[in-house]
């Protein structure tokens, strides 16, 4: 019992010296408009759009305090599509990141019917039916852990012309492990 008490005192002392780690959740969404005029004018009916992501902007804590980032959930949604012609159009949808000139594919969905989907879960922590593999999740978390701005890229590759513009939205829930400095002497 004496050894256990000593161990407990040591752990408390270390926590006072080093600070504690807390988890801070954050959510973010990115919307990409798929412009029919550009898609239909392209010989291959492909369109890509990108946006800059700065993970440090999601948290009030200093970037130096962020120990790691964990992906909790990743979703996508197709919205605003009016299929006036009634034609069935399929899309290969890909989501990638680009950091320091290196592009990393995160998710590819082939044969997605272009229609309003509602929110679709591509990954949820603990859900074995997630579309992302453990390696894809680890890759995205590693990119986020760099705490450097990176691009998120959405590409639609369509089987035919589309009737009008629509949006593809990508959303994620993440959790940062943040070191809190000690507040007192230990």
Per-residue tokens: 72: 């909790």
Q: Are the beta carbons of 125 and 175 closer than 8 angstroms? A: no
Query: How far apart (Å, rounded) are the C-alpha atoms in residues 30 and 61?
Result: 22
Whether the Cβ atoms of residue 163 and residue 2 lie closer than 8 Å to each other: no
Give the Cα separation of 169 and 59 in Å (integer).
Answer: 21
Rounded to whole angstroms, what are the CA distances from 43 to 40, 47, 85, 122?
A: 8, 11, 20, 30
So what's the pLDDT on residue 64? 83
Q: What is the rounded distance in angstroms from the CA atom of residue 150 to the CA atom of residue 81?
A: 28
Closest CA to 140 of 171, 107, 112, 114: 107
The predicted structure's pLDDT at residue 156: 97
Task: Yes or no: say if 83 and 163 are a contact pair by the CB < 8 Å rule.
Answer: yes
- Is residue 56 within 8 A of residue 147, CB to CB? The reply is yes
186 residues of the chain, pLDDT tens digit each: 444 443 333 344 344 445 788 999 999 999 999 999 999 999 999 999 999 999 989 888 777 889 999 999 999 999 999 988 888 999 999 999 999 999 999 999 999 999 998 999 999 999 988 999 999 999 999 999 999 999 999 999 999 999 999 999 999 999 999 988 766 555
- Domains of the chain, residue spans: 20-179
Specify the pLDDT at position 62: 76
Question: What are the DSSP E strand ranges found in the chain?
Answer: 20-34, 46-53, 66-79, 90-99, 102-113, 120-124, 150-158, 166-180
pTM of the full structure? 0.83
What is the reported pLDDT for 118?
Answer: 92
For the sheet with 20-34, list strands across it: 20-34, 166-180, 66-79, 120-124
CATH of domain 20-179: 2.60.120
Task: Report the pLDDT value the prediction gives residue 174, as an integer from 0 to 100.
Answer: 96
| Amino acid 80: pLDDT | 95
Mention every residue, 6+ apart, whose C-beta is less than 8 A from residue 45: 39, 157, 158, 159, 160, 161
């Amino acid at each position: 019992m004496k050894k256990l008490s000593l161990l407990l005192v040591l752990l408390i002392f270390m926590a006072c010296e080093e600070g504690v780690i807390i988890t801070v959740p954050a959510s973010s969404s990115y919307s990409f408009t798929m412009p029919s005029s550009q898609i239909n004018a392209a010989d291959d009916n492909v369109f890509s759009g990108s946006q800059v992501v700065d993970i440090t902007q999601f948290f009030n804590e200093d970037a130096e305090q962020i120990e790691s980032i964990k992906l909790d959930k990743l979703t996508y949604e197709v919205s605003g599509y009016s299929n006036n012609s009634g034609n069935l159009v399929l899309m290969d949808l890909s989501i990638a990141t680009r950091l320091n000139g290196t592009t990393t594919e995160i998710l590819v969905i082939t044969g997605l019917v272009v229609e309003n989907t509602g929110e679709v879960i591509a990954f949820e922590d603990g859900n074995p039916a997630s579309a992302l593999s453990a390696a894809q999740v680890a890759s995205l978390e590693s990119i986020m852990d760099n705490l450097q701005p990176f691009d998120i890229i959405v590409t639609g590759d369509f089987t035919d012309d589309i009737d009008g513009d629509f949006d593809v939205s990508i959303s994620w829930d993440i959790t940062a492990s943040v070191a809190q400095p000690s507040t007192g002497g230990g």
